[in-house]
């Protein structure tokens, strides 16, 4: 018998953590007990992006999205929704469908209403481990069209027409890059998918691969056809085991179905694919370093030119694009470059995926048309700042990017506007920061990262970031000196100019952008020895207020016996002995200890 | 897991032999090191010599590559590997306090293994679960929404489980 209902459970990392796998087991058991196993199919999907509402369960037909589902809710959902056909309003993320903004499935939920999904169009909807699921949503149709009806030249023209630019950070026009690589002669060429995803607060590429690996594969195969390559390589972080496993499965399934290998779909085009693992080095996201890493060497960048399009992997012409860039390709081939170029702004076409995180209600993965404002993303899609706190900044571009304060909230997302505002588009990390974060400390956090990840080849990057970090550390420890701000600026400019690769050239950005927009916080640290967010521990003092009931918990936990007081009387901290470890603060159950 | 046995060496040899059938065989060095780490939990020095010999590469080159990439452990690891996410979202939500609490509880620094060889402490960058930041991963399992307090309780649970097994 054909299934009457389909249940789709998100199998992304957040939903797994929130018990989605136990829910799947409970569903299976409950369906069996109710004798419904044949009528109701259970699917899994990759991340739908609604991580903060997880675990997510979608019931079709009807497109009901359930959020925050627990094992205890399962009998009710089965009984009410599947047997009596009455959706459980209590658990539904949205209750009714007023109108359909775009995909029917997303209904009228603000979180989705402002999104537009091209790269992530199937994520959260199809089962990423079943090629049939992908085929049922026009999967590999673009490849078939390309192989039967388009010449490589036409493919490249279509990409050029779309205006697509690289989603890995730099925003180079994709069609041009393809053209440069296609122009090279010789019959050994390579196509690479950059899935190294180095930004330490982002997971777009991972989710795209986990949720819909075939889209990425299809894009890569089309790229191979366009430039005349016979081999593709996906370079992916070893830290992404689930994504690797799904990619492996997808490649095997594509081979079995004649979509990879010799004479694909009966054409003259042969192409195969291989996965290579990274090994935890941020600099390997840079294209020349990545190529050296695939060659089995240390991943150190080398000067360009020569560009990979001329002399890349094993010295051969190589086309390298980011995961999200590749995921857009099948859509451009099916719906046309012209259609694609109607989405977005003058200079930035299409959509961009962001990993929205930090101090915002709806954390998760979103895809918006270029031109959407930061305000729309943070307040309409993200639902604003939780706990009644005040917005302070939004960080984009990770360790290469910058922090924008409130005045820039109406900035439109596109490569040029973000750069003009003092940040960058980056690969898609977007972290919302509220008043509880210290901007000096945040800048230090990013610089620690880049300093740690500098490959050490150029002195300005290796030594300069170290000097900057020393100054920042001194400022956060209350030893900042007059002139430190100017020194940071000078060093920053020098490192930007004198470094070989993008890592060094962008490493000072988080410091320079916070110096520009949050200079007063630096000055407070240096001159008033004050950290307004209470983050820099050396600048914080702990005090016990009248809320203290004298339970003595703090006294017992203090490692240096700095707290004294009689039972049931207000305790006090000896500031001379206190080492500011903060243990009393976390221990007190009555919120009687405050940071000042 | 960490002992060097003939059987494991044979497996490595077989893996390298397969790699040698491919074009550009030395480009598979990192893959070979991943394979070695999969077998031992780390990349032992003796095994590097063996790989060097089998792949016709100087040991110094292999050493250079293995030390360049953070992912490779050059010393044996503990029973459980704790990776503390130090990604931006986790940092903003207090990962630093969580890391400090773990260091205090285990009396080790990042990259070290506790004296009882139960835990190895590592840093990770974004585990893809920013929605439940701050996050740590213990042996591949994600734990989220942690505080300095709850992470210590979590470690206690692992300790208790380990004791239960040996007792
Ligand atoms: C330090 C550094 C790290 C990078 N990390 C990544 C990365 O993780 N993923 C990525 O796609 N591109 C990364 N890039 C950009 C790549 O060098 C390259 O521009 C990109 O893969 C090209 O693909 P695209 O045109 O599709 O964006 C990085 C660049 C630098 C300088
Ligand atoms: S700028 Fe930094 S990371 Fe880039 S090559 Fe130079 S030292 Fe290495
Ligand atoms: S912050 Fe630490 S040292 Fe200071 S009083 Fe509290 S527990 Fe004692
Ligand atoms: S930053 Fe920690 S999971 Fe993303």
Summarised one tens digit per residue, pLDDT across range A54-67 is 888 888 777 788 88
Mean pLDDT (chain A, rounded): 91
Q: Which of B22, B40, B68 represents a domain boundary (last residue)?
A: B68
Residue of A nearest to B83 (CA): A239
Number of domains composing chain B: 2
pLDDT for position A95 = 40
3-class secondary structure, A122: coil
A52 to chain B, any CB pair closer than 8 A? The answer is yes
In the DSSP assignment, the letter for residue A96 is -
- In Å, how far is A443's CA from the nearest CA of chain B? 11
Burial class (CB within 10 angstroms; exposed 0-12, middle 13-18, buried 19+) of A542: buried
For chain A, domains (ranges, CATH) are 5-113 (3.40.30.10), 131-340 (3.40.50.11540), 351-434 (3.10.20.600), 439-528 (1.20.1440.230), 541-595 (3.30.70.20)
Which token pair is A121? 């169009």
Dist. CA A452–CA B76, nearest whole Å: 23
Give the mean model confidence (pLDDT) for residues A388-409.
94
Within 13 Å, how many C-alpha atoms sit on residue A344's CB side?
Answer: 26
Residue B113 counted as domain residue: yes
pTM: 0.88
Summarised one tens digit per residue, pLDDT across range A109-141 is 566 777 888 999 998 888 999 999 999 888 999
Residue B75 counted as domain residue: no
Dist. CA B87–CA A220, nearest whole Å: 29
Same domain flag for B131 and B157 = yes
- Which helix (H) or strand (E) covers residue A275, if one does? strand A272-277
Residue of B nearest to A439 (CA): B92
User: With contacts defined as CB-CB under 8 Å, which chain B residues touch A582?
Assistant: 97
Give me the tens of pLDDT residue by residue for chain B, a chain 167 residues long.
678 899 999 999 999 999 999 999 999 999 999 999 999 999 999 999 999 999 999 999 999 999 999 899 999 999 999 999 998 889 988 899 899 999 999 999 999 999 999 999 999 888 878 878 899 999 888 899 999 889 999 999 999 998 876 54
State which residues form the domain around B86: 80-162
Nearest Cα residue to atom 8 of ligand 3 = A558
Q: Which of B68, B94, B113 represents a domain boundary (last residue)?
A: B68
A559 to chain B, any CB pair closer than 8 A? The answer is no
* Residues A552/A567, Cβ–Cβ less than 8 Å: yes
Residue B74 counted as domain residue: no
- Tell which residue, A179, A112, A128, has the closest CA to residue A152: A179
Same domain flag for B36 and B16 = yes
Residue B25 counted as domain residue: yes
pLDDT for position A511 = 97
Same domain flag for B84 and B158 = yes
pLDDT for position B125 = 83
Residue B73 counted as domain residue: no
The answer to whether the CB atoms of A296 and B65 lie below 8 A apart is yes
Same domain flag for B10 and B37 = yes
- Tell which residue, A493, A577, A483, A481, has the closest CA to residue A529: A481
Residue B167 counted as domain residue: no
Same domain flag for B54 and B99 = no
Q: Which of B25, B48, B68 represents a domain boundary (last residue)?
A: B68
Same domain flag for B62 and B90 = no
CATH number of the domain enclosing B147: 3.40.30.10
Summarised one tens digit per residue, pLDDT across range A185-210 is 988 999 999 999 988 888 899 999 99
Dist. CA A170–CA A398, nearest whole Å: 13
- In Å, how far is A297's CA from the nearest CA of chain B? 6
Measured in angstroms, how far is the CA atom of residue A292 from the centroid of ligand 2?
A: 14
| B19, B23, B26, B28 alpha-carbon torsion, rounded to 10° | -50
Residue of A nearest to B37 (CA): A279
Same domain flag for B49 and B84 = no
Summarised one tens digit per residue, pLDDT across range B45-64 is 999 999 999 999 999 999 99
Measured in angstroms, how far is the CA atom of residue A163 from the centroid of ligand 4?
A: 32
Interface test with A, best of B130, B141, B144, B149 (most A CBs within 10 A): B130
Same domain flag for B62 and B109 = no
| Partners of A542 in beta bridges | A595
Dist. CA A354–CA A167, nearest whole Å: 11
The answer to whether the CB atoms of B71 and A240 lie below 8 A apart is no
pLDDT for position A96 = 40
């Amino acid at each position: 018998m054909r299934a009457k209902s389909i249940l789709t459970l998100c199998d992304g990392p957040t939903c797994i953590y929130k018990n989605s796998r136990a829910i799947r087991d409970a569903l299976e058991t409950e369906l069996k007990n109710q004798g419904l196993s044949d009528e109701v199919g259970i699917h899994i999907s990759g991340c739908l992006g609604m991580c903060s509402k997880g675990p997510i369960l979608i019931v079709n037909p009807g497109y009901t999205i359930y959020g925050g589902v627990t094992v205890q809710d399962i009998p009710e959902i089965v009984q009410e929704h599947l047997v009596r056909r009455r959706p459980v309003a209590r658990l539904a993320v949205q209750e009714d469908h007023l109108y359909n903004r775009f995909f029917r499935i997303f209904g009228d939920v603000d979180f989705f209403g402002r999104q537009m999904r091209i790269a992530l169009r199937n994520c959260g909807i199809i089962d990423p481990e079943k090629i049939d699921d992908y085929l049922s949503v026009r999967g590999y149709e673009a490849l078939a069209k390309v192989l039967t009806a388009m010449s490589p030249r036409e493919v490249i023209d279509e990409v050029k027409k779309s205006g697509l630019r690289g989603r890995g950070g730099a925003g180079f026009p994709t069609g041009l890059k393809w053209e440069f690589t296609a122009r090279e002669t010789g019959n050994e060429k390579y196509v690479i998918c950059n899935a190294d995803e180095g930004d330490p607060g982002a997971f777009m590429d991972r989710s795209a691969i986990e949720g819909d690996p075939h889209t990425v594969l299809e894009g890569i195969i089309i790229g191979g056809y366009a430039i005349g390559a016979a081999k593709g390589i996906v370079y992916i972080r070893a830290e992404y085991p689930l994504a690797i496993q799904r990619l492996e499965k997808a490649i095997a399934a594509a081979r079995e179905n004649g979509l990879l290998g010799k004479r694909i779909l009966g054409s003259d085009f042969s192409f195969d694919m291989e996965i290579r693992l990274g090994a935890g080095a941020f600099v390997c996201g840079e294209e020349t370093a990545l190529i050296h890493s695939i060659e089995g060497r240390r991943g150190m960048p080398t000067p360009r030119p020569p560009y990979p399009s001329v002399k890349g992997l094993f010295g051969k012409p190589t086309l390298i694009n980011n995961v999200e860039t590749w995921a857009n390709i099948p859509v451009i081939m099916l719906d046309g470059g012209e259609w694609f170029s109607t989405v977005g702004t003058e200079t930035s076409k299409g959509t961009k995926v962001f990993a929205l995180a930090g101090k915002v209600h709806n954390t998760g993965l979103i895809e918006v048309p270029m031109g959407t404002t930061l305000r729309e993303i943070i307040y309409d899609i993200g639902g604003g700042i939780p706990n009644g706190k005040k917005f302070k900044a939004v960080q984009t571009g990770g360790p290469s990017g910058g922090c924008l304060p409130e005045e820039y909230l109406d900035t439109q997302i596109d490569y040029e506007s973000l750069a003009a505002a003092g940040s960058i588009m980056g690969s898609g990390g977007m972290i919302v920061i509220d008043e509880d974060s210290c901007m000096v400390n945040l800048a230090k956090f990013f610089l620690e990262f880049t300093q740690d990840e500098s490959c050490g080849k150029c002195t300005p990057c290796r030594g300069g970031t170290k000097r900057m970090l020393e100054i920042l550390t001194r400022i956060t420890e209350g030893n900042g000196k007059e002139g430190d701000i100017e020194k940071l600026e000078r060093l920053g400019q020098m490192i930007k100019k004198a470094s070989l690769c993008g890592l060094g050239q962008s490493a000072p950005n988080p410091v320079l952008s916070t110096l520009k927009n949050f200079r007063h916080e630096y000055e407070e640290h240096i001159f008033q020895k004050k950290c307004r967010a209470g983050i820099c521990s050396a600048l914080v003092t702990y005090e016990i207020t009248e809320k203290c009931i004298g339970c003595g918990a703090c006294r017992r936990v203090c490692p240096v016996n700095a707290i004294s007081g009689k039972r049931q009387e207000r305790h006090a901290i000896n500031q001379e002995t206190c080492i500011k470890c903060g243990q009393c603060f976390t221990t007190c159950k009555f919120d009687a200890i405050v940071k000042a | 897991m960490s002992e060097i046995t003939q059987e494991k060496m044979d497996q490595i040899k077989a893996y390298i032999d397969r790699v040698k059938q491919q074009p550009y065989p030395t480009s598979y060095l990192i893959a070979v090191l991943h394979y070695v780490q999969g077998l031992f939990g780390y990349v032992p020095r003796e095994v590097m010599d063996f790989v060097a010999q089998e792949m016709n590469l100087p040991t110094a080159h292999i050493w250079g590559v293995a030390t360049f990439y953070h992912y490779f452990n050059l010393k044996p690891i503990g029973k459980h590997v704790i990776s503390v996410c130090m990604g931006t979202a986790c940092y903003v939500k207090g990962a630093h306090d969580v890391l400090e609490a773990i260091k205090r509880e285990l009396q080790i620094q990042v990259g070290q293994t506790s004296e009882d060889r139960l835990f190895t402490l590592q840093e990770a960058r974004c585990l893809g679960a920013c929605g439940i930041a701050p996050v740590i991963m213990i042996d591949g399992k994600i734990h989220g929404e942690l505080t300095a307090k709850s992470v210590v309780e979590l470690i206690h649970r692992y300790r208790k489980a380990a004791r239960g097994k040996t007792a």
